[in-house]
A and B are shown apart, each in its own frame.
Chain A
Amino acid sequence: MNNILDLEPTQKLKFYQKGTFTVGNRLVSEEERAVQSSMGRSNSINCGHRGCRGCGEALGARFAVDAAMRACDNNLVVVNATGCLEVFSTPYPESAWQVAWVHSLFGNAAAVATGVAAAYRVKGRKEVRVMAQGGDGGTTDIGLGCLSGMFERNDDVMYICYDNEAYMNTGVQRSSATPPAARTATTDAVGPEPGNVFGTGKSVARIAMAHRIPYVATATVADLHDLERKVIKSMSIHGARYIHINVPCPLGWGAQSHDTIRLARLAVETGIFPVYEGEYGKVTESRKIRDRQPVEAFLKPQRRFAHLFKKPNDPRIAQIQAIADANIAEFDLIAKEDQE
C-alpha cells in the first residue's frame, strides 16, 4: 500500500481532509496526534473543579499544562497567580491539580516562579522545569512589574497568561486586556460612549518581545495543535518564555457555554486576536486566517457587545473592524495564495 507517511512531509497532515484539525486522528501516528488525544494525558486539572460551565480558562490550562508535563516528563512545578483558575481549582482543602502547584499572591507569580527556579538550580535539580500562570489581570496589570523583571533577567521560567479579557473572578471588572466597547462591571454600557474606552491597547506579547526573550507566542483554545506545539517548543528552550492564550469566558462575555471554542476561533478568523510567535524580539511566524469573517461574527454572540447592535451601523463596529484590519496587515495574517 502506498503509505501516507511516505508522501512529502509538508503534505502529510494536509492530506487528511478528515481530521486535520481534530484533536486526534486514527490515520496518523501517535506522535502526530495532540497530547490531549492521549489516554495517558496527565489531566493536570482534573474533574470536579468549580470553573463555570464551558470555562475556556480551565480548558486552556489543561491544554497547556498537560503539554508542558509531556515535554518535561512530568518534572514540572506550576506557580499560579490569584484569579479564577486558582480559586475554582483549589478551595481549601481540595485541589483539582494533579501537578506540583503553588499559589502565593495576585501580582507576584513571575517572581515566585523565579525563586522556585533558582531553588532547583541551587539544588542541582536540572530536570525540574518551572512555569507560572495567571489571568490577564494578574499579568497585564498587577503582575506586569514582576513579569518584566523575570523577562529582563531571562529567568528560566515559562509564563502563560490565560486572557479572558477582564477580572472575572471578582465579578468581571475591566483590565488593560479588556477590548474596546466591551461592557464590564466597571465599564457599564451607559452614556454617550458605553462600554470600555477605545484606548491605545496593550499587548503583553509585544512587551515581552521588546525584552528580546528567547520565545514569545500567542495561541487560543480553538487551535489545540498550534497551542500544544508552542508550549512544547517553549519547553525545549531555557530562559524566559511567554505564551499568551485567548480563553473565552462564557460568564464574563455573556456567551453560550457551548460557544467557547467557536468564539476563540472567530477571534482569530476576524483578525481580532492575531496568533503568532516570535524569537529574540522578532516575529517569526503567524497563523494564517482560513476563512476570514467580519468582526460582527465575533461580537454578535456576546452580550458584552450587545449595545453595539441596538441601532444599525454603530460606527464603533467599523472602529473595531479597523483594529482587526490593522492586525491582519501587521502580522501578515492572510496567506499569499488567498490574497486577491
Chain B
Amino acid sequence: MDHPFAITLDVGSSLNNQTGSWRVSRPVYLDRLPPCNNACPAGENIQEWLFHAESGDYETAWRALTKNNPLPACMGRVCYHPCEDACNRITVDSAVGINSVERFLGDEAIKKGWKFDKPATETGKKVLVIGAGPSGLSAAYHLRRLGHSVTIRDAGPKAGGMMRFGIPSYRLPRDVLDAEIQRIVDMGVEIKLDSHVANVLQAKTEGKFDAVFLAVGAHIGKHTNIPAGAAAKIVDAVSVLRSMEGGEKPLLGRRVVIYGGGNTALDVARTAKRLGATESIIVYRRNREKMPAHDFELEEALEEGVVMKWLSTIKRFDDDGKLTVEKMKLDETGWPQPTGEYETLEADSVVLALGQDVDLSLLDGVPGLVINKGVVEVNKQMMTGAAGIFAGGDMVPSERTVTVGIGHGKKAARNIDAWLKGETYDAAPKHDLAVADNLNTWYYTDAPHTVRPTLDMVRRQSTFEEVVKGLDETNALYEARRCLSCGNCFECDNCYGVCPDNAVIKLGPGKRFKFNYDYCKGCGICASECPCGAIKMVAEDI
C-alpha cells in the first residue's frame, strides 16, 4: 500500500476501540412507578396524562386519563386527591395541582363534546350491575369497553348514587355529573332507574345475565338512641342530603345541630347554612386531631360560619328545643370518657351523621356469599363466595370514597371479563416506586416570581370548590408542566447530551433512547443527571 513519507499505518478511526469493555456497571433505562399513580385509588396513570396535557394536547390527555377513570370532571371536584399528598414535587416547592388539571380536562371534554368509543366487537356476554353510583358506573364503563353488554339497575330516581344523593351540589354541580353519566350511557350502557333489586339471584336468572357486579352504596344512616320528646325533630344526614335532590328541601329550622365528625357531618352543616340556618353547630365527641373529616373541608366549613363543639355527646333532646350535651375528656388511648358536666343548647333539629350502612337485603339466601360486619366478603378477584357475583364500593370492606369506588369498579370489570372467558386476571407487577431520591431536581425550576401568586390563588381556589373557578387554559398548562415525570422518561435529551463517550443513541421523538454498550464505559453520568430517575446503574458480571 502507498503511504506518504514516514507513515506506515492506514488511517484508523477510534471506533476500532470498543471502550465498552472497560465497563464495571451498565446504565439501564427503566420506568419507575410515580408516587401519584401509586397513591391513586382509581389507578390513574397521572404522570401519563399530565405528559400529554403539557403539550396542550388535552384530548389525548383526557383519553389517557379515562382509560382508568370515566368521571374526571366529577373527580376533579370531589376526590380527596391522595396523589397530591404523595407528589414528589413537594420536595422542590409544592405538590402539582393534579386535581385541578383533572377537573380542567374533564370540563374541557364536556365543553368539546368528546365521546368514548364504542367497543369494536361485542362479546355477547351480559353483565348486571346493581347500583348506579361511582363504583357501578365505573364497572359498567370498563365492561362496556371490553365489549360486554351491561345493564345497570338502581333503586333511585336518578343515576349517580352517592355523587348525587350524598355530595352537595355546591361541591359537584349536577350538570357536570349528568354529562359524565350520559357519556357512559352513550357507549350503549343501559341504566334502569327506580328499579330496586329485591333478590339478586332472581334478577340474574330472569335477565339471563352471565355475571353480576354488586355496587350498592351505603344509603342508610346509622342511628343512636337519644332520649327525645315526641315533637323533637331528629333526622339522619343521608336523608337530609338526599332530600336536597328532591323538589321539597328539608326543613331543619334556624338552629341546626349536627351530630358526628365525618365529612358527611360537614356537608350537612354547610348545607344547613345554605338553607338559611343562622346557627349550624357540629357536636362531636372527640377533638380536631381525631376528627375523620378532611382538614380542608373543616376549614371551609369554619369559614362559612359553622361552629364546632368538640368533646361533646348529646344526652337528651326535649320538645322545647333544649338539647343537653355532656362534656367529654379523652383518656390515654384517645377514647372519649364522660365527665358528668352538662350544658344546654337551643336547637330546632338534630341531624345524625354517625356513619352509614348498606342495605344488603337483596343478598338474602345467596349460597356461598358471606356477609361480615355489614359488608360482603370478596376474594382478590373481587368475587363473592357465589360464583359470578362480584362486589365493590361501599359494599366491601374498604375506605368509602368516590375514588375508591371507581377503582373497585375498574378492578371488578377486569376480573369479571377474565372470569367470563374462564381465566383469572393477573395485574401486571408494579414497577419500583420513583422516590424523591431518584430525581435530580436541579433541572426543574421554581415558578417564576411573577406568576407564582396568581397560581397559588388558583391552586387554593380549586380545592375550595365553592369559589367555582377552575384553572383556565394557561394555568392548566402551567400546572401540568410542573409535573416532574417521576420515574418516566420525558425525552429531555439529558442522557444523550451528557454522555462523554457519545454512547447514547437518540431514537427520535416518542422513541426514547438506547445505550451503545460497545462504547459505554459505565461512568454513570447519565443516571446521575437524569432528572426523573429513569436510568439505573446495574453491576456487570465480571
Contact = CB atoms under 8 A, between A and B. Distances in A.
Interface of A: 1-4, 11, 14-27, 33-34, 36-37, 39, 43, 45-51, 53-56, 58-59, 62, 89, 92-96, 224, 250, 256-262, 265, 337
B502 A39 contact: no
A96 to B, nearest CB: 4
B352 interface: no
B494 A23 contact: yes
B14 A15 contact: no
Centre residue among B18, B445, B508 by max chain A CB count within 10 A: B445
Contact of A49 (B14, B442, B446, B481): B14
Nearest to B478: A15
Given A17-B482, A21-B443, A260-B523, A95 B516 contact: no
B529 A261 contact: yes
Interface stretch (B72-80, B168-176, B241-249, B483-491): B483-491
B498 interface: yes
B500 A55 contact: yes
B491 to A, nearest CB: 6
Interface in B506-542: 506, 508-509, 516, 518-519, 521-525, 527-529, 531, 537
A27 B493 contact: no
The binding surface of chain A is classed by DSSP as loop
Contacts of B537: 258
A337 B527 contact: no
Nearest to A55: B500
Contacts of A51: 500-501
B296 interface: no
B528 A36 contact: no
Contacts of B522: 53, 257
Nearest to A36: B497
A53 B14 contact: no
A251 to B, nearest CB: 12
Contact of B477 (A2, A39, A47, A260): A2
A26 B55 contact: yes
Contacts of A256: 524
Given A15-B448, A39-B508, A62 B500 contact: yes
Contacts of A20: 443-445
16 contacts: A16-B445, A17-B447, A18-B483, A20-B445, A21-B443, A21-B445, A22-B443, A23-B496, A45-B502, A54-B524, A54-B525, A93-B11, A94-B17, A257-B522, A257-B525, A260-B523
Nearest to B448: A14
A56 B500 CA distance: 7
B132 to A, nearest CB: 36
B492 A22 contact: yes
A48 B508 contact: no
B17 A27 contact: no
Contacts of B506: 39
A260 B17 contact: no
Given A48-B16, A53-B522, A265 B442 contact: yes
Given A18-B481, A47-B519, A93-B9, A23 B524 contact: no
Nearest to A13: B445
Centre residue among A24, A36, A45, A259 by max chain B CB count within 10 A: A24
Contacts of B18: 48
A260 B523 CA distance: 9
